[in-house]
Chains A and B, each alone.
Chain A
Amino acid sequence: MKGNIIKYARDNIDTDVIIPGQYLKIHDYAELATHAMEGLDPDFHSKVKEGDFILSGKNFGCGSSREHAPIALSHCGIKAVLALSFARIFYRNAVDGAFLLPIEIDQDAYDGIAEGDEIEIDVSANEIKNNTKNQTYKMKPFSEIIGKIIAAGGLFKYKPDLD
């Protein structure tokens, strides 16, 4: 998976700025996507490209349980969010619907990757390669459970081995 970084160098990016409440009435995901990150960065929609990644600090996606948040980002073309940590409901929603990959990174990756950098994510090797800077960082591996749901393509495709 290869893409460019849109970096928000702060903690606590909440679901109300990812998709403000007034848009939760929108049923059409393409239309919903036009309002993604509107609360934080009104230019987001004009700069985001298919395959981009978001990079941010701690507790990304805190707040509401609205699944609209990962949906809106994924329908803008965001394939993964790299963050120092995630709020749990956002993390779960992202994985459940296979909307995007929530990838936990360490401080080195957070500090080393800048806006616009081209990076490659290799989930099987738990590695993030920064092609722009020619650096490599470790990503925190998915737990076994989350890895299985991601590999299956989301909650509804996941069939646990129950004997």
Chain B
Amino acid sequence: MGQTLFEKIWDSHIVEEKQNEPSLIYIDRHLIHEVTSPQAFDGLRMNNRKVRRPDLTIATMDHNVPTTDRSLPILDQTSSIQIKTLEKNCKDFGITLFGMDSPNQGIVHVIGPQLGITLPGTTIVCGDSHTSTHGAFGALALGIGTSDVEHVLASQTMWLEKPKPFEIRVEGKRKNPHAVTAKDIVLSIIKNIGTDGGNGTVIEYRGEGITDLSMEQRMTICNMSIEAGARAGLVAPDEKTFDYLRGREFTPKNYESLVDTWRDTLHTDSDAKFEKEFTLHIDDIAPQVSWGTNPGMTCDVTESVPSPDEYSKGDANQKKGAEKALEYMDLKSGTSIMDIKINRVFIGSCTNARLEDLIEASKVVQGNKVSSEVRAMIVPGSQMVKKQAEELGLDKIFIDANFEWREAGCSMCLGMNPDILSPGERCASTSNRNFEGRQGNGGRTHLVSPVMAAAAAINGHFVDVRELELN
């Protein structure tokens, strides 16, 4: 019987395998950042261990870096300590670090692909759940905790129970691809399969609706695999993948011969079996807006906030969850999504802060002004994205419209730096999680695409971007 792409990558990375033991898997790339690595380095020191492959380990700082003027000192002492600790750890253990002043600094899942560190057919880990992003390149990319970070630093391997392959087919063509985006596809998937629908699996996204997407859009899809509970998500590499990675800073010298091998091997065989399957038809899907406190609590922009009964379909816990969510979000069932007023907008995060995201958002913004009721910020995913956007003049479009144009980092996606919501503030956010307090204690998050966020910034409430003239 044939194999899925995931199984092929898995098999080619087994160091040790035995029945009823976890498999020891070789890790090709280890990305680290300031928040989930300090205890791992402490552990190495305590046990007098070295980093086994510093050359395969890359560090950046993203989670709690300020997104304001980088020449100023960091006011938050604990953030400053974490950043200095990473600098010291990288120096002591010989690890390449893209620090605060590096032109390569940025969100770890944005810089990996951008620098050609992320490669098809490889295994990639990082102490961050959104590592699944790198799966867009046909890599097996897993988010791990700090104990596993330490294990990988010390051994370049990881013990893993083999996840099950899950096929998600995305079929059809979007009528307006500028208005209905990759974010709307992945939110639709999560809305349908639930936040635990992918539990214990590696998703392979397939079908015309996926191959039609650019690499950056595929990253948005794979990024949110974890929001469906999956261990990882991936897309088989194709010419778009190979073109994207060609000529980047860390792209291997023997790239073309690697591409030849990848073309022959990195795909799911026609007779391979998946253990789970789901198909989404996207011809008629609408822009999505989350109304609740997990990414599955999402509906079409043209719909109204559902009642807990409608949402839960008879499941008592789901009903209670929806009631709590509506209370936290201060929303009433039956309120039209387009009547929800917002006061903050965040365009950023590893989900939606790449160049294409900013280009698409700028088309909505151009010639308009942010509503006087709204504070809106753009946080590019990396310093390189920021520079490229500035070369296209996007910064000017956003600044003219009264958006804040900031330095790269995770920023308001997770509220570790000063970019947070105040209690009760309501935000249209291009990030990945609408959990209670995620963007700041008491803050209310609505997950949307970059174009939806941009349109909400201008109008002060959600609008159906299909009604706008976008091209």
Contact = CB atoms under 8 A, between A and B. Distances in A.
Interface string A14-29: 1011001110111100
8 contacts: A9-B317, A39-B436, A64-B128, A65-B128, A65-B145, A156-B150, A156-B151, A161-B21
Interface string A141-163: 00111101100001110101110
A136 interface: no
Nearest to B432: A63
Interface stretch (B171-179, B195-203, B330-338): B195-203
Contacts of A57: 317
B18 A65 contact: no
Contact of A22 (B129, B146, B415): B415
Main secondary structure of the interface of A (DSSP, over half): loop
B195 A59 contact: yes
Interface of B: 16, 18, 20-22, 24, 35-36, 38-39, 43, 63-64, 76, 78-79, 81-82, 127-129, 131, 143-148, 150-151, 159, 161, 163, 195-196, 199-200, 226, 229, 231, 294, 317-318, 320-321, 324, 414-416, 420, 433, 435-438, 441
A22 B199 CA distance: 27
A155 B20 contact: no
Contact of B199 (A27, A67, A85, A155): A85
B294 A93 contact: no
A interface, size bucket: 35 or more
B30 to A, nearest CB: 14
Contacts of B129: 63-65, 89
Interface string A76-93: 000000000101110011
A118 interface: no
Contacts of A145: 20-22, 161
B144 A89 contact: yes
A58 B320 CA distance: 13
A116 B43 CA distance: 37
A143 B143 CA distance: 21
A96 interface: yes
A75 interface: no
Interface string A53-64: 000011100111
B317 A85 contact: no
Contacts of A26: 78
A97 interface: yes
Pick the most buried of A10, A143, A145, A146: most chain B CB atoms within 10 A of its CB: A10
Pick the most buried of A20, A65, A89, A158: most chain B CB atoms within 10 A of its CB: A65
A146 B196 CA distance: 20
Given A12-B294, A17-B437, A96 B21 contact: no
A160 B22 contact: yes
Given A25-B79, A65-B36, A97 B147 contact: yes
A145 B161 CA distance: 8
Contacts of A96: 145, 147-148
Given A22-B415, A24-B35, 9 more contacts: A11-B321, A16-B437, A21-B416, A24-B63, A25-B78, A27-B38, A59-B199, A63-B226, A92-B148
A45 to B, nearest CB: 15
Contacts of B21: 145, 148, 160-161
B435 A22 contact: no
Pick the most buried of A20, A143, A144: most chain B CB atoms within 10 A of its CB: A20
B36 A67 contact: yes
B320 A21 contact: no
